[in-house]
Chains A and B, each alone.
Chain A
Amino acid sequence: EAGVAQSPRYKIIEKRQSVAFWCNPISGHATLYWYQQILGQGPKLLIQFQNNGVVDDSQLPKDRFSAERLKGVDSTLKIQPAKLEDSAVYLCASSRDRATEYFGPGTRLTVT
């Protein structure tokens, strides 16, 4: 069974630029999550989708972050405009039944 796929793996941008990350979950997994992991910290949930709908986006900085999950499969996370403090690893995860979450390799974002 293929795991969670993410791209790109690395991205370097300047502050105030925009960036987008892509995630393809494990086949058949209805729930998809985006996490932010700052160096030395554990992952922090940004947004959770159940199929096409948003379940929890309470920790998503909505003035600059947006996410969508079209057709209940792939998802994109966008940051516009980026700030220095957005430098982190962005992890995508999926689960079949909202129990065990399986993570992708992450996208390391550096904002200069």
Chain B
Amino acid sequence: EDQVTQSPEALRLQEGESSSLNCSYTVSGLRGLFWYRQDPGKGPEFLFTLYSAGEEKEKERLKATLTKKESFLHITAPKPEDSATYLCAVQANDYKLSFGAGTTVTVRA
């Protein structure tokens, strides 16, 4: 069974304090690894897809990287508007998405 584990569960940062979120996974044939952002009371918002080890994607203050066993989401110089829950999901060869429980990031001004 495909498994996704995210750590830490919660992360409190000061504005400008860079940090990383971890997503470790086991999957029977990785088609893609997805990162989503979810704000309270809203549905997940797509951020990135990574397809192979060594790949990197960037968007504003966010950078996602992928290895054969895990992915990292780096937040550089975060702002309060980066506060959200970040979800990681893996898509197996059957196209099914399996999600982790998420990391809730709080950025204080």
A contact set with B: CB distance below 8 Å = 4, 40-45, 48, 56, 91, 93, 98-106, 108
Interface of A is mostly: loop
Who on chain A is nearest to B99 by CB?
A42
How many B residues are at the interface, by size bracket? 20 to 34
Beyond contacts A43-B99, A105-B43: 20 other A-B pairs, Cβ-Cβ < 8 A, are A41-B101, A42-B4, A42-B100, A42-B102, A43-B87, A43-B97, A45-B96, A48-B96, A56-B94, A56-B96, A91-B44, A93-B43, A98-B95, A100-B34, A100-B46, A100-B49, A101-B34, A102-B46, A105-B42, A108-B41
B58 at the interface (CB under 8 A from A): no
Interface residues of B (CB under 8 A from A): 4, 32, 34, 36, 41-46, 49, 87, 89, 91, 94-97, 99-102
